[in-house]
Amino acid sequence: MTEANENGPEPQVEIQEETPAEEEVGPAGPDLSLLTERGRELLEASLEVLKDFQPEPGALSDLPQITVDPVHTLEVCRLIKDDPRTTGKMLLCLTCVDYSEYFQLVYFIQSLEPERTLVLKTNVPYENPTVPSVTSVWHAADWHEREAHDLFGVEFEGHPDLAPLLLYEGFEGYPGRKEFPFYEYQEF
């Protein structure tokens, strides 16, 4: 039987164990939980193939992802295409993302046998966005690189012809950049 004081029964106090905050635990590394077994195998193979280039592993949703320094982009792409462990024979897409402080180039690379996709990322500085062209590895990179050049001003060293693809010759500025005064622009 519970004894009551003048104000009624004593309230029950639930004691909870303290758990350390996320910052105190430290980073656990990239979240690879959405990768399939084949995705994990491709990521491991890619890390082994590219070990000389300090690749950073990761995942883009359920796709294995590798991040490398921009100066190594051409060598890395050639290895991904030619090495039998990765066989990245086809460039599906190359896109540029403006993070205001830097640009991130994202390459979606397809292996046909076995069929699987690898994401390659590289970050280039906003002030001097220069990266080697991969047109010598995949001819499909031609238009993708020209588009990134038109819209973001990324220079692709070694590209055979960075003539405007989407904009007219003499267009001023880069309309893909966040800083572009899009609503103030008048075409003629």
Instruction: Determine the structural domain holding residue 79 and report its residue range.
Output: 32-176
- Whether 7 maps to a domain, the answer reads no
> pTM for this structure?
0.81
- Whether 22 maps to a domain, the answer reads no
- Whether 11 maps to a domain, the answer reads no
List of residues 6+ apart from 124 with CB closer than 8 A: 70, 102, 103, 104, 105, 130, 131, 154
- Whether 61 maps to a domain, the answer reads yes
- Whether 148 maps to a domain, the answer reads yes
Residue appearing with tokens 């003499």: 170
- Tens-digit pLDDT profile for residues 58-89: 999 999 999 999 999 999 999 999 999 999 99
- Whether 116 maps to a domain, the answer reads yes
Q: How many domains does the chain have?
A: 1
* Domain containing residue 136: CATH number: 3.30.460.80
- Tens-digit pLDDT profile for residues 116-131: 999 999 999 999 999 9
- Whether 8 maps to a domain, the answer reads no
- Whether 43 maps to a domain, the answer reads yes
CA distance 183 to 147: 21
Share of the chain above pLDDT 70, in %: 82
